[in-house]
Amino acid sequence: MKKQHKLWGVVALGGALAIAISGCSASGSTGGGSTDKPVATKTADYNPQPRENLKQGGEAHFWINEIPAQMNPFNGDGTADTSRLATWYMPQVFLMDPDGTVKPNPAYLDKWDIGTKDGKTVITMKVNDKAVWNDGTPIDWTAFETTWKDNNGSNPDFKASATDGYKDIESVTKGASAKDVIVTFDREFAWPKMPFLTGILHPAVNTPALYNDAFNGNPHPEWGAGPYKLSNFDVNGQKVTLTPNEKWWGDKPLLDKVTFTGMDRAASLNAFKNGEVDQVETSSADAINQVKNVKGAVVYRAQQTAKTIIQLDSTKPQLKDIKVRQAFFQAINIEQQKKIAWNGLGYSEPAAGSLIVYPFQKGYTDSFKAAGLAFDVAAAKKLLDEAGWKAGSDGIREKDGVKLTVTYPVFSDSPVQAALAKALQQQEKAVGIDLKIDTRSPANFSNDVSTKNWDALAMRFTDSDPFGPAWFCQMYCSDSNLNLSSTSTKAIDAKIKSDVESQTTSDAWTTAAMKLEPQIIKETWGVIPLYNGPEIITAKKGLANLTPETYVGLDLFGVQPVENVGWQK
């Protein structure tokens, strides 16, 4: 369940971690500070530099929300942090410009052609003869075949994050040699660039047990490939170390060592101030002010390709009634949430009215407004009355002697996230819902999310590519691992297949998806978007080609070669 892949991860609001949509580049500035005056948010802002401007050697130390136990980036329990780390030691078969233009990585592919044969879309690829897995296995057509079979949904025992794209492939076969790959879709497919964008799996990962469990607590570096190799992986100590891979055949990685350390936001800011990390997220005015005076600090500010959302678990007794869920959402003052989240940032944006298309993309319409989402306390109260929940003496609703209590975890110690949660608590109280805020460690995020140890949850849906409508099923199908609200139905699945997935062009597919989205919302009320927001990161001066991974937004949809991250001369 990733939108090429969409992943979840920790966010602003009740503390969301991202779970995995176009632009130009610009240099960073030292701007920041607590002012509500408009501040420029660039489409992409990541200090792009050619290799000749960078020096060989040095180290880079990055902060990350969490070192997750599940390190299979395709698995439904993986998070955006899983994919971010995997980018550094797993194949980057495809790269992407900030505007979403997909390009084959010449280190892996000598050829990549898309055509049509007998009414079916066909992709032909030729893998670089030097490409090899760390265990010595050649990278060839079997890796693409395994990735397809593991993720196409034909065997439900594979807990795939998303089947979109892969389920549309009819076959993956060997060409003239083992290095020649032929991918044939079952029809003329509107999104042929979708599959394999987030990488490929070692052909050894060919059973549900290996796919689901082998990477849990063990990243299997021997099944990796690329310019860096995993030298240390410590979930308990929340530390990952990567060093140059002696088996790499491409451009030499610039850095001698790359370290990721999982920590909460307060600790990450202190670590940056103390010189322990070279890059830190600073998505609030308070965070920027804490680090902006650090010597050599540069604030980068770009459009984020992520949506902060709230989901409700419809399997919980108090949330089974769709009227209760709709009332919960109508009680939320989204404009107030935005003001708290962006206080002092001088930022504004149109309504985040869709889970599949951003307001800055072609084809966008506000699906949630069309479905009837609005801040309306009176309407929310009426819905709760109709559902049989009556206000008690303390104003909290009750039914059959049970109070309408909803547990809401916050995986952060950020004062902004605390303020957002408290505001949400007051908004829900106004209609008679008792929102219980439960502050937890960020290290618990992925496990608590996957085990549904929550009633309501704020998270960030982060997109790794601009093909949002292509991942419509990942968002709304009943068997999607991203559909944590458990609100969809087989009838909705059938409607998605007949109305959306039958389209043969991306424009027609997008139009059909935007038409269907409001209808699904009305039938489910399981999740709503609050806002998108800016991606603001503060980094040490001279660190270049920032955020090369998927799901990290300084370069918008960009996916850059990790071997090009380094320090300017």
pLDDT digits (tens, 9 = 90+) for 208-259: 999 999 999 999 999 999 999 999 999 999 999 999 999 999 999 999 999 9
Provide the strand spans (E) within 65-136.
94-96, 102-104, 109-117, 120-127
What local confidence, expressed as pLDDT, does residue 18 receive?
36
Angle formed by the axes of helices 334-341 and 415-429, nearest 10°: 160
Q: How many helices (H) and strands (E) does the chain have?
A: 14, 25
% of the chain at pLDDT higher than 90 = 84
Q: Are 8 and 65 in contact (CB under 8 A)?
A: no
What local confidence, expressed as pLDDT, does residue 38 receive?
57
Lowest mean pLDDT among 34-43, 299-308, 533-542: 34-43
Query: Residue 562's pLDDT band (boundaries 50, 70, 90)?
Result: very high
Give, as one character, the DSSP assignment of residue 223: G
> Would residue 222 be called left, alpha or beta, if left means φ above 0 and alpha means ψ between -120 and 50 degrees?
alpha
For Cα atoms 144, 149, 153, give the angle at the middle one, nearest 5 degrees: 135
Query: Residue 443's pLDDT band (boundaries 50, 70, 90)?
Result: confident
Q: What is the mean pLDDT of residues 36-47?
A: 80
Amino acid at 199: G
Cα separation of 462 and 10, whole Å? 10
Mean pLDDT, the chain, rounded, equals: 91
Beta bridge partners of 241: 232, 259
Name the helix (H) or strand (E) containing 391.
Answer: strand 390-391
Amino acid at 38: P
Cα separation of 234 and 218, whole Å? 9
What SS3 class is residue 458? strand
HSE value, Cβ hemisphere, 13 Å, CA-based, for 551:
31
Cα separation of 289 and 304, whole Å? 20
Q: What is the mean pLDDT of residues 465-494?
A: 92
What local confidence, expressed as pLDDT, does residue 462 receive?
85
What local confidence, expressed as pLDDT, does residue 143 receive?
98
- The tokens describing 268, both together, are 């990450």
Amino acid at 133: W
- Residue 352: phi and psi, rounded to 5, are -85, 80
Q: With 90 as the cut, is the pLDDT of residue 80 above it?
A: no
381-412 tens-digit pLDDT:
999 999 999 999 999 999 999 999 999 999 98
Cα separation of 336 and 424, whole Å? 9
What local confidence, expressed as pLDDT, does residue 11 receive?
34
Q: Are 545 and 33 in contact (CB under 8 A)?
A: no
Name the helix (H) or strand (E) containing 174.
Answer: strand 169-174
Query: Residue 483's pLDDT band (boundaries 50, 70, 90)?
Result: confident
Q: If you search the block for the tokens 């082998």, which residue do you land on?
A: 214
